[in-house]
Homo-oligomer: A and B are copies of this chain.
């Protein structure tokens, strides 16, 4: 299997969610690329190619098995694992992310949550007690966390990211409104909410452009 690019991954998530929601993860139903195409507004050739990449084979004259599609995607993305993650920043957003039960279903588990504000340390969020920043390295080592979720202010983001990388994390999910740098072996996803907002605001200002953005 070739390495999947972000566009492919995004479409795969589309197939996954559609089936999970409308057919059910454990049901089985045959579905043709043409049907999915209409439902999701994605070219049917594209769908067949995407499914081929993750090893799902269809039957001519019949279609694809919904269960196989869901299974393959969960397998490829590792949704059945339980990967520990640490959240740094116990603000409202950090709290929201740390306690998202949905994430369990994607193979993620909140191992710990940190903050440097003494007022926040000791508070309980979800099923975690907020810990002081000086525990970061120890907890990461002991929990074998791989992923770090950053919900700290922009000015602190790079410094926190450096510490997380130093402590051995190889994936960072950054919600701070700034771009952070990391070594090549670390994958960083910038979940820059304001950038998404800007897109909507632009459409508000220019109602002519009718394309619905993702």
Judge whether A77 and B173 touch: CB under 8 Å: no
A194 to B177, CA, bound (A): 19
A62 interface residue (CB < 8 Å to B): no
A13 to B96, CA, bound (A): 25
A200 to B3, CA, bound (A): 13
Copies per assembly: 2
Judge whether A3 and B209 touch: CB under 8 Å: yes
Task: Of the listed stretches A43-51, A112-120, A134-142, A184-192, name the one at the interface; the rest are far from the partner chain.
Answer: A184-192
**Which residues of A pack against B, CB within 8 Å?**
3-4, 6, 9-10, 12-14, 17-18, 21, 40, 76-79, 83, 91-93, 95-97, 99-100, 102-103, 106-108, 146-147, 154, 170-171, 173, 177-179, 182, 184-214
Known: A6-B213, A12-B198, A187-B210. 11 other contacts (CB 8 A): A3-B206, A9-B198, A13-B198, A14-B179, A17-B177, A21-B178, A76-B202, A77-B198, A78-B204, A184-B210, A187-B213
